Amino acid sequence: MRWLFAVSVLAGQSFDRDLQPVFRQHCYACHAANVKMGSLDVETMDGLLRGGNRGTILVPGKATESRLYLTLTGALEPMMPMGDDKLTAAELDVVKSWIDSGARPDPGGLVWRGATIAAGYGAEIRLFNTTGQLTRKIAAQVGTVRAVALSADGTYVAAKGPEIQRIFEAATGREVQAQPLDFHSSRTALSPNGQRRATMRDDGSVTFEDVR
């Protein structure tokens, strides 16, 4: 079992762990949230799905049909990264196998309260009922969702991204509150009545704030 688990982890490329370090080193200088040459941001799943000036750059499952990959091999001009820099064969392989395996974001947390299950997935909060049926997708607008929280009865759902947290009414998707976050805070939870939020920081301390 242990061995099988290790193999399955190695077989799939993780968006955060494997892909983004390659892009951080070779692409962020020109394609990130704050500099979008060619209108392209490769820092977030959202940005990759949006594509650039010439439209979509990803065909999930098919690297050799994806402009993202084809500009890296030089099959499409202009070859990327622009300039003298070049990806190593191993880095090209990371990009290729991430796209070939479906171009998926890393799961961003799963939580179950009452009759509601919330999952963070890419830029979305996905809500499910207890039979696993997808009932609502909410555009979380926090960049890549890193964690989700639900109030005890499932009325409110919160999504945390790298820098901001937003809270929504689960039934309507209406935003209740947006808050900038300490970049280092790594855990958030809503109180049972959804009126307070607890945040655990990297040093293990917990802080509380009113939601409204």
- Of residues 83-102, those binding ligand HEC (CB under 6 A): 83, 87
Q: Which of 13, 19, 31, 165 binds ligand HEC (CB under 6 A)?
A: 31
Q: Confirm if 170 and 116 have CB atoms less than 8 A apart.
A: yes
Q: Is 21 a binder of ligand HEC (CB under 6 A)? A: no
Residues 6+ apart with CB under 8 A from 160: 142, 145, 146, 147, 148, 149, 181, 185, 188
- Of residues 155-174, those binding ligand HEC (CB under 6 A): none
- Whole-angstrom Cα distance, residue 79 to residue 111? 42
Q: Is 29 a binder of ligand HEC (CB under 6 A)? A: yes
Stretch that binds ligand HEC, among 19-27, 109-117, 135-143, 196-204 (CB under 6 A): 19-27
Sign of CA dihedral 185, 106, 196, 206: negative
- Whole-angstrom Cα distance, residue 129 to residue 98? 30
- Whole-angstrom Cα distance, residue 20 to residue 168? 28
Q: Is 27 a binder of ligand HEC (CB under 6 A)? A: yes
Residue nearest to ligand HEC (CB): 52
First to last CA, the chain: 47
Q: Confirm if 33 and 123 have CB atoms less than 8 A apart.
A: no
In the bound state with ligand HEC, the residue whose beta carbon lies nearer, of 48 and 159, is 48
In the bound state with ligand HEC, the residue whose beta carbon lies nearer, of 84 and 203, is 84
In the bound state with ligand HEC, the residue whose beta carbon lies nearer, of 63 and 72, is 72
- The site map against ligand HEC for 45-84 (x = CB under 6 A) is ------xxxx--x---------xx--xx-----x-xxxx-
| CB atoms closer than 10 angstroms to residue 174 | 9
Q: Confirm if 194 and 182 have CB atoms less than 8 A apart.
A: no
Stretch that binds ligand HEC, among 29-37, 109-117, 143-151, 189-197 (CB under 6 A): 29-37
In the bound state with ligand HEC, the residue whose beta carbon lies nearer, of 32 and 117, is 32
Rule CB under 6 A: which residues touch ligand HEC? 23, 26-27, 29-31, 37-38, 40, 42, 51-54, 57, 67-68, 71-72, 78, 80-83, 87
